[in-house]
Structure 1
Amino acid sequence: MIVEDDPAIAEMVADHLTKDGYQVLHAPDGRAGLEKFERERIDLIVLDLMLPELDGTEFLKQVRSASFVPVLIVSAKDGVLDKALGLGFGADDYLTKPFSLIELSARVNASLRRATLYAAEGRPEARSGTTLRIHELTMDTERLAVSKRGEDVKLTGKEYHILKLFMLNPRRAYSKEQIYRAVWHDDYFGDDNAINVHISRLRDKIEDDPSSPRYIITVWGIGYKLGEF
């Protein structure tokens, strides 16, 4: 589904994705987008941020309260704050207008491929039943759940898989490129902001003091690793 108030852009994107073999729905504003989302089976959302009726960030918050459907933001807003805001509310990727239709196709395909891989991980035949622990943090890979001191920690799909990567490899430091390839299952486009935002959001949820993290620490000049307790 494309949620875009500019009919020319919506038509251009819809035509391109239709040629790629996708069935495409269009909503001209956030309110109409929510109505279609509730009625239809949506596999991916291409979302503009500047929308009438209901803006893109509020639309995304409401979608995320009910679903982890992949969301690709396509917007003219290009500041670091805008990207952090979009990704912080649960978007999976971000393209800035004007954009290449070839890159749009690549990111749509990658988002759907990642969603398929994560869904497969949740199937009974893929579950290991393994419980991972580090200090007061526990990950149940059968339930795809994380808790701290016995209290559930609500993570997005990306946050969960970043944390799982570190907990499975507690002594290894990862570069941002390695994290992106391992979690996004895609080529790294060199956008550090996506990694930084997800790491920051994850720290906010699992650290006692996010400004002085103990679980996910920065390795200067390299990237990040799991802290030692």
Structure 2
Amino acid sequence: MTNNKQVLVIDDDQAIRELLAEYLSKNNFDVITAEDGLEMDKQRLIHQPDLIILDIMLPGDDGFILCQRIRQTSHVPIIMLTANSDEMDRVLGLEIGADDYIAKPFSPRELLARIKALLRRTQFASEENQPSAKARYLLFSNWKLDTKQHLLIDDNKDEISLTGADFQLLTLFLDNTNSAISRDQICQALHGRDAFANERGIDVHVSRLRQCLKDDAKSPKIIKTIRGAGYVFIADVNEKN
């Protein structure tokens, strides 16, 4: 019985599947592969991968559709493979719930580094980086955050499931309410200490969180943009066990 992390690779290019399976296996990951959405669904029923590498250009349902499908039921970290220099693919991938992206052609070594960094951040966020180690729920504005299940609950008890990146961003804001947080700080929290801030990508993350909080982007009341400084989260936070 292995304790290796399990990675599911979805790509219709057999050479890429074989390359990643061999390379990641040598680096102590258990690798499952699929060539399309149908095979992905089968593998996810059999296995519970710790991370998914998802190509955008696939036969049948493309990577965007599959990412949305995964996010309906799972918080599993997702790295999307995008066409080289195609910013729209990267932005859309982040908007629908991907945690990271890497452009083709890519270095397996760089992908391995991103996998390890994303798994570290995910574990840190779920086990150690809770806004309060004692509180199960955090109350702010008209919302309740379930820090165990990564759920936002409104006054009508409607629930919104947060992706790993959305949860990390929200907890960063909740730990720093009423203080300006720069895009560099957000980038480091979401993508690691050595990450380079992509302003468009950070803005997409913030926009997606605003949508979850039903915070009007044209006149936000919770997450306000401070020109030249980043963002400020305006809320009083209370804890509830």
TM-score category (smaller protein):
0.7 to 0.9
Post-superposition Cα deviations, 1:157-207, rounded to whole Å, max 9, x if no partner, equal 322221222222212211112112234444323323332111011111213
2:112 and 2:33 map into 1 onto residues whose CA distance is: 17
For structure 2, the residue ranges without an aligned partner over 5 or more in a row are 1-7, 237-241
Q: Give, as a single letter, the amino acid of the residue that structure 2 aligns with 1:213.
A: P
1:140 and 1:25 map into 2 onto residues whose CA distance is: 31
Structure 1 residue aligned with 2:144: 138
Structure 2 residue aligned with 1:87: 94
1:9 aligns to 2:22 (yes or no): no
What pairs up with 1:19-58 in 2 under 5 angstroms?
19-58=26-65
Q: Give, as a single letter, the amino acid of the residue that structure 1 aligns with 2:184.
A: E
1:198 and 1:47 map into 2 onto residues whose CA distance is: 19
Paired residue secondary structure (1:12): helix
CA shift at 1:23, angstroms? 1.4
Post-superposition Cα deviations, 1:30-88, rounded to whole Å, max 9, x if no partner, equal 21111111111211111101101322112112211121111110121643322122112
Equivalent residues of 2:169, 2:186 under 8 A apart: yes
Change (3 A) 1:100 1:192: farther
Post-superposition Cα deviations, 1:130-180, rounded to whole Å, max 9, x if no partner, equal 654443333344554333334435132322221222222212211112112
Structure 1 residue aligned with 2:153: 147
Q: How many residue pairs were aligned?
A: 227
Change (3 A) 1:186 1:41: farther
For structure 1, the residue ranges without an aligned partner over 5 or more in a row are none
Which is further off, 165-174 or 176-185? 176-185
Which structure has more relative contact order (CA 8 Å, sep 6+)? It is 2
Structure 1 residue aligned with 2:199: 192
Equivalent residues of 2:187, 2:196 under 8 A apart: no
Equivalent residues of 2:64, 2:96 under 8 A apart: yes
Which is further off, 78-87 or 17-26? 78-87
Post-superposition Cα deviations, 1:88-137, rounded to whole Å, max 9, x if no partner, equal 221110011111222111101111112222332599xx841265444333
Change (3 A) 1:177 1:19: same
Q: Give, as a single letter, the amino acid of the residue that structure 1 aligns with 2:38.
A: R
1:134 and 1:120 map into 2 onto residues whose CA distance is: 22
1:128 aligns to 2:130 (yes or no): no
Q: Give, as a single letter, the amino acid of the residue that structure 1 aligns with 2:169.
A: I
Post-superposition Cα deviations, 1:189-228, rounded to whole Å, max 9, x if no partner, equal 3323332111011111213422211101111112111136
Q: Give, as a single letter, the amino acid of the residue that structure 2 aligns with 1:152.
A: D
Paired residue secondary structure (1:24): strand
RMSD: 2.5
Q: Give, as a single letter, the amino acid of the residue that structure 1 aligns with 2:153.
A: S
Structure 2 residue aligned with 1:112: 119
